[in-house]
Amino acid sequence: MYENASAAEIYDALYQDRKDYDAEAAQVAALVRERKPGASTLLDVACGTGVHLEGFAKRFDKVAGLELSESMAARATERLSGVPLHHGDMRTFDLGETFDAVVIMFSSIGYLDTVADLNSAVAAMSRHLADDGVLVVEPWYFPDTFLDRHVSTHAVKRGSEGIARVSHSTREGDKTRMEIHYLVADGANGIEHRSEVDYLTLFSPEEYTEAFRQGGLNVTYLEGTAGAPGFFVGTRE
């Protein structure tokens, strides 16, 4: 999904239209500061094109990002000046520094394939927490909350360019199979059709909780509103 510059550009156009990134950054900053009022440093794991980081940079003295996809990270680099953006995998990264807050937004953790991957990623994020730091994980849906056969639609138009996205999600074992079709139009070249299939894992609340426990963290689950997946918030035991 995030393999080339054009996919990253489409991602940015669609989700900045659909999500209020700055409000989400404010919400997560508040969750962190309720637990660590003086928090001044934050790492955004799987930061994508860096839009939450823009919001976090307004609220924390020092922020940094980690991202696996080079094309997504390239857009983050264009967007943010002076913010360290590290290339790495959430399961294995080691930046050699700690942060007051480590966050992973927009269900990015759901792209992991197995419970072992989940445990590795939460352990790696926990290792990057300062002693009284806060880990915030926005999960993917749970086996019980996932809406099987869900259809989602969205279209945006900017100048002479337009993008329409339609997705259909089904359940395959412990995975969501999300088939997405895009129609990408521009005035000069007409309409191009693209499609992709993404798999996200429906980890259970117990699996998330156990991953935090293994990472040496106490965890609370805060339920989301209006269909949002909520947040797991962890602090050192």
Q: Quick check: 46 binds ligand SAM (CB under 6 A)? A: yes
In this structure, the dihedral spanned by the alpha carbons of residues 226, 73, 44 and 97, taken in order and rounded to 10 degrees, is 170
Smallest gap, in angstroms, from Cβ of residue 79 to ligand SAM?
A: 11
Q: Is 22 in the site for ligand SAM (CB under 6 A)?
A: no
Among positions 10, 55, 59, 69, the unique one binding ligand SAM when judged by CB under 6 A: 69
The CA distance from 154 to 40, in Å, is 36
CA nearest to 49, candidates 14, 23, 24: 14
Strands 99-104 and 85-87: unpaired
What one-character-per-residue DSSP string does 121-146 give?
HHHHHHHTEEEEEEEEE-----TTT-
Q: Which is nearer to ligand SAM, 111 or 231 (CB)?
A: 111
Per CB under 6 A, does 198 bind ligand SAM? no
For residue 108, the minimal CB distance to ligand SAM (Å) is: 4
Cα 146 from Cα 148, distance rounded (Å):
6
Binding flag, residue 105, ligand SAM (CB under 6 A): yes
To the nearest whole angstrom, how small is the minimum distance from the Cβ of residue 53 to ligand SAM? Answer: 9
Residue of 237, 236, 232 whose CA lies nearest to 105: 232
Between 22 and 186, whose beta carbon lies closer to ligand SAM? 22
- Whole-angstrom distance between the N-terminal and C-terminal Cα of the chain? 37
Q: Which stretch binds ligand SAM (CB under 6 A): 102-110, 142-150, 154-162, 206-214?
A: 102-110
52 versus 59: smaller Cβ distance to ligand SAM:
52
Nearer to ligand SAM, 185 or 224 (CB): 224
**Do the Cβ atoms of 232 and 220 come closer than 8 Å?**
yes
Enumerate binding residues for ligand SAM (CB under 6 A): 2, 15, 46-48, 51-52, 67-69, 72, 89-91, 105-106, 108, 111
